[in-house]
Amino acid sequence: MLLLSVYRLTTKIAPLLLCFSGLFGIANLSWAANDDDDSDKTSSNTNDAEAAPTADAPSYYLPNIPKKRAQALIHHLELMERQDEIVQLSGLAEDYYGLFLAEATGNPQGGVLILHDNQQHGHWPDIVAPLREYLPQHGWSTLSIELPDTPARQRITRQDIASQPNASSSSTDTEENENAGGTEPITTNQKGEPLLTEEATDNDGPDLSGQPDEQEDNDALADDSLEPALPKLAKLPDLENKTTEALSPAEEMAIDPIEHYRKQNQQRIVAAMEYLRSKGQLNLVIIGYGIGAAWAIDYIDSQNGDTDAKVTGKNDNKGLTLVTIDAMPSRHSTLIMNQQLTKLKIPFLDLIQPNKTYAIKQGKNRQAIMKRNKNEEYQQIITSDMPSYHENENPTNRRIRGWLKSNAGGTLVKMRP
């Protein structure tokens, strides 16, 4: 009975197994067909990609941060309906903006040119904006201009040195190679007897007994590729000695970013002073903050070197006053500012914040120079710590206004027709 039941069960299951095997065979055939279709598609796509011309790589550029800063400031003033303060100035074949505010008292005292610090603009909220808005309420017309950012430090160019082969080094290399190919012992005992003549194999390494011989694989590859073996290199090839053509002085001057930065600052300050004179302002004050103070001193020194001053032997700087706040020399010309101060013979107010160590150090040097030159119109004041420079009625603005009233106050003069 048991055999009969087993026989019946197998006869019932056999057709089912045949059906399942047929279904799996059809599925395998369909999957193979799909794989063939996919492979054909990928091969066609690769062929199309190879046939299509390669697109140009996208070009990258550095953002012009000073230009964006100026555009954002002008946009801000337009939103605040203060676009009437914006004036267009030109210098060194370029146009730039200035912010002009006329005096608002009816008793004009003169014009003030305000120069901001590095990486700022003409309406910077610290010191610059409060000062240019505060002085017009006391008879001073103010003009603040945009100065370019200090250029980044240039990397020192290295000279190309021709590599010459050294005979001694090549001979030592060949000797080492010959010694390495010999069978000299690696280690010896105290008596000089060799202990180990060749490198020991790693016992913990993988078992390569069942793997095919590496020499046979190399022979098979050599038979497949009928290319001859490359000769061994005795040494590396010598580098080419690239010679660079020397540029003319005019070309070096044209591409020198530091010299271009200096000329750009000088031309902008000259154009700003001419603009104030065109407004009838003959009593002029230059207020420089940070590195802007160095360029204010540079302008006054350039006025001392005019042809009229050289002929008469006198410095024609009447009606010109200097005020500096945390004066800092330019990092490209640290000693030039102190040399220019030796020729300074005009009223000079030097303000320094006590929390800036380097500014105080530079201020002591300026004070010593002024004392040696016996400039009695120089005054240095270390201001107290201030909670904020954003308010118009702050101690710095009041101190500058009072000092200008005592040392640089002007009067209204009728000009001849």
| Span 25-34, average pLDDT | 50
| Span 4-30, average pLDDT | 57
Strand segments (E) across 248-382: 284-289, 320-325, 348-352, 378-382
75 has a pLDDT exceeding 80: yes
Separation of alpha carbons 334 and 352, rounded Å: 18
265 has a pLDDT exceeding 80: yes
| Span 171-182, average pLDDT | 54
Predicted confidence at residue 411, as pLDDT, reads 58
Sorted by where each begins, the domain ranges of the chain are 65-149+249-406
| Span 102-117, average pLDDT | 94
Predicted confidence at residue 311, as pLDDT, reads 42
Range of lowest pLDDT (151-160, 304-313, 351-360, 398-407): 304-313
What SS3 state is found at 349?
strand
Reported confidence tier of residue 156, pLDDT bands at 50, 70, 90? low
What DSSP letter does each residue of 223-243 carry, written as one string? HH--PPPPPPPSSPPPPP-PP
Task: Name the CATH superfamily for 65-149+249-406.
Answer: Alpha/Beta hydrolase fold, catalytic domain (3.40.50.1820)
Kindly report, residue by residue over 299-330, the tens digit of the pLDDT.
Answer: 999 887 654 444 444 455 678 999 999 999 88
129 has a pLDDT exceeding 80: yes
113 or 178, greater pLDDT: 113
78 has a pLDDT exceeding 90: yes
Range of lowest pLDDT (7-21, 254-268, 373-387): 7-21
Predicted confidence at residue 165, as pLDDT, reads 53
Range of lowest pLDDT (10-19, 33-42, 126-135, 383-392): 33-42
Q: Cα separations (Å) of 149 from 158, 184, 270?
A: 27, 68, 18
Whole-number percent of the chain with pLDDT over 70: 57
**Four-residue CA torsion sign, 265, 267, 271, 277:** positive
Range of lowest pLDDT (23-27, 102-106, 113-117, 232-236): 23-27
Predicted confidence at residue 1, as pLDDT, reads 53
Predicted confidence at residue 310, as pLDDT, reads 43
| Cα 409-329-359 angle, rounded to 5 deg | 80
292 has a pLDDT exceeding 90: yes
